[in-house]
Amino acid sequence: MDRRLFVALLAFVLAHHELAIAASIITGTAPGFAAGTTGGGDVKPVYPTTVKELATYLSDAEPRVIVLKQELKFINTEGSTTESGCRPTNNQQCLAKNNGFKGQDAILMNGDTAMQQTGGCDSGGKSIDVTYDNAAKDPLTVASDKTLVGEGTKVTYDNAAKTPLSVASDKTLVGEGTKGVLNGKGLLIEGSNVIIQNIHITNLNPHLVWGGDAISIGGSGQAPKNIWIDHVKISNVGRQMIVVHFSGATGVTISNSDFDGNTKFSASCDGHHYWGFLLYGKTTQISLVGNYIHTMSGRGPKIGGAEGDNVVVHAANNYFDDNTGHAFDIAAGAYVLAEGNYFSSVKTPNLDDPAGHFFVPVRESNCKTAIGRACKLNVLTASGKLTSYSARAALGEVSKYSKQIGGYAVTEASKLSVASGNFGVGALTSTIASATNNKDTPAKEAEGSIQEAQQQEDTAAQTSLESNAPVNEAASVAADSDVTQSAIQSTEARSVGTCKRKLRKRH
């Protein structure tokens, strides 16, 4: 064979081999709102070995498939800071309890010397010094309508967590096995067409509120679109696990991920993380499917509540476990359909905010007109009540996205076994399949059934709500099926307070 021809053939084979490798790096395809997201596509993968390389690959203008084969440690890479901070009232109370758990101090908003602009602190409090990691700290300003009294102190933080890694458009970031770990640094997704898969984000100043958000989406500019976060694990963060900022984001799916609230530092003083999800946006659409959300005490998730919000969330096949506070907190501007979710030991499955819109099906047929298929019912064991409110408005808004929501099969609610095939990092499988490919087969290990749950009126909201269900499907969509049964509620410990819009306080 001619040498030049041989070299050309070899180059052709190697090029196609590299394309095949790139195509095989991502497991599955995005369901729900993020369907069609391709990330970096089939470009040749890159393998960062340093913090600097990863930051460059994520933020440059090139399409990238970035494979993380190691733990990158950001702690101490940017120094640390000690400054005046705040000891919120709830942390003062936690210290007084001396119950074996620790609370969280708070980093003050820039310029807030009087402690009047930071949730959790005001002029009646006292200051402290704080130490934190700047790389994890994510300065987000939001509105507030209530502030707790804090005291000043000194806080110290690691600087690396203060500023998250910026993620530009057309990026895929995927970890190899359990090796892909970001230790001390979060992500800020500002671009569109982004895939984050099989990555563990951890250790973002967990002792401090405002110590760092794990994954932030959007900002003050144009809203990003087409973002798939899949098989991610998040643990030991100071603030939110997931944030969608005021700009909003469309075409977002968060799937098969492990949101681990186990912590030494808890705003609720019980080893359960309070700050889970904060989903804002003037136009935001999110599929929240197949996730394990556990050991939390609040905001699991909080949706809407900022001025001008229009946030649509489809929450399906999630496993909510061991929550000492509340799961859903659905406020003004939020429209949520929750189906096929499994709640185990969740004190308050949802707060009752009449300004929000929440639809919980009580019959599988309730959704058919709105989204083109039957819904799956939720299951609750050893939990409070899951309660619809403003159901007609919720289902009406959700019906605008029937293609995205009805286009994949939701399975029966079930308790997930601990395995990467179900959620989190490791050897991956896709658990949510296209409706055309998966009609009836459950993708998870069932430990109990909806029939068993419905036999227990005190643990299954569907049983007690059934008497309020419309007698036919058309009526269920057209009639306001708001449920008057109140959920078992606990007073929300808003340790850093909600935010006063006029003052634009941090939330």
- Compute the distance between CA of residue 71 and CA of residue 342 in angstroms, rounded to an integer: 32
171 and 137 in a common domain: no
In angstroms, the CA 363 to CA 370 distance is 14
d(CA 190, CA 223): 8
Q: Which of 110-124, 138-152, 378-392, 405-419 tops mean pLDDT?
A: 378-392
For residue 478, is pLDDT > 50? Answer: no
pLDDT computed for residue 118 by the predictor: 81
- Which of 153, 178, 211 delimits the end of a domain? 153
Same domain, 277 and 228: yes
In the predicted model, is pLDDT for residue 30 greater than 90? yes
Cα(189)–Cα(222) distance, rounded to whole angstroms? 12
Is 448 a residue whose pLDDT tops 80? Answer: no
What is the four-CA torsion angle of 130, 135, 140, 145, rounded to 10 degrees?
A: -30
Kindly state whether residues 281 and 223 are assigned to the same domain: yes
Give 469 or 260, the one with higher predicted confidence: 260
Domain count, the chain: 2
Residues 300, 417, single domain; the answer is yes
**Is 221 within the bounds of a domain?**
yes
**Residue 340 falls within a domain, yes or no?**
yes
pLDDT score recorded for residue 333: 98
Model pLDDT, residue 447: 42
User: Which of 153, 175, 209 is the endpoint of a domain?
Assistant: 153
pLDDT interval class at 4 (50, 70, 90): low
* Adjacent-strand bridge partners of 314: 287, 337
Contact 45, 26 (CB under 8 A): no
497 lies in some domain? yes
Tell me: do 93 and 166 sit in the same domain: no
Do 137 and 202 lie in one domain? The reply is no
* Interior angle at CA 245, CA 329 and CA 211, nearest 5: 85
Q: Quick check: is 67 in a domain?
A: no
CA-based nearest residue to 253, from 184, 346, 189: 189
| Model confidence at 281: pLDDT above 60 | yes
Residue 152: per-residue pLDDT: 78
Q: Which of 321, 326, 325, 381 minimizes the C-alpha distance to 358? A: 326
- Domain assignment present for 60: no
Confirm whether 31 is domain-assigned.
Answer: no
**194 domain-assigned:** yes
The pLDDT score that the predictor gives to residue 147 is 36
Span of 17-21, 245-249, 362-366, 475-479 with lowest mean pLDDT = 475-479
Residue 353 CB neighbours (<10 A): 19
Proportion of the chain above pLDDT 70, given as a percent: 73
Kindly state whether residue 209 falls inside one of the protein's structural domains.
Answer: yes
Where is the domain boundary, 153, 170, 190?
153
Annotation marks residue 87 as catalytic:
no
Residues 132 and 174 in one domain: no
How far is Cα 293 from Cα 184, in angstroms, rounded to an integer? 21
Range of the domain at 381: 160-503
pLDDT for res 316: 98
User: Where does the pLDDT of residue 113 fall: very low under 50, low under 70, confident under 90, or very high at 90 and above?
Assistant: confident
Residues 304, 276: contact at Cβ < 8 Å?
no
Give residue 120's pLDDT: 58
Between 299-303, 322-326, 474-478, the lowest mean confidence (pLDDT) is in 474-478
**Are residues 137 and 177 both part of a single domain?**
no
What is d(CA 206, CA 157) in angstroms, rounded to the nearest whole number? Answer: 10
Average pLDDT over the chain reads 81
CA distance linking residue 78 with residue 75, whole number of Å:
7
* Predicted confidence band of residue 146 (pLDDT cuts 50, 70, 90): very low
Q: What is the mean pLDDT of the segment spanning 320-339?
A: 98
Q: 3-class DSSP state for residue 266? A: coil
Task: Give the separation between CA 211 and CA 266, rounded to whole angstroms.
Answer: 13
Q: What is the pLDDT of residue 109?
A: 87
pLDDT band, residue 128 (cuts 50/70/90): low
E runs forming strands in 311-382: 311-316, 319-330, 334-339, 342-350, 357-359, 379-381
Is 412 in the same domain as 462? yes
Pair (264, 135) in one structural domain: no
Average pLDDT over residues 391-407: 95
Strands (E), 270-425: 277-279, 284-289, 292-296, 302-303, 311-316, 319-330, 334-339, 342-350, 357-359, 379-381
- Mean pLDDT within 19-25: 55
What is the arithmetic mean of pLDDT over 105-118?
A: 84
Q: Are 152 and 123 in contact (CB under 8 A)?
A: no
Q: Are residues 92 and 176 in the same domain?
A: no
The per-residue pLDDT for range 438-447, each reduced to its tens digit, is: 333 333 434 4
Please tell me whether residues 149 and 164 are part of one structural domain: no
User: Which residue did the predictor score with more confidence, 88 or 9?
Assistant: 88
Active-site option among 64, 87, 299, 373: 299
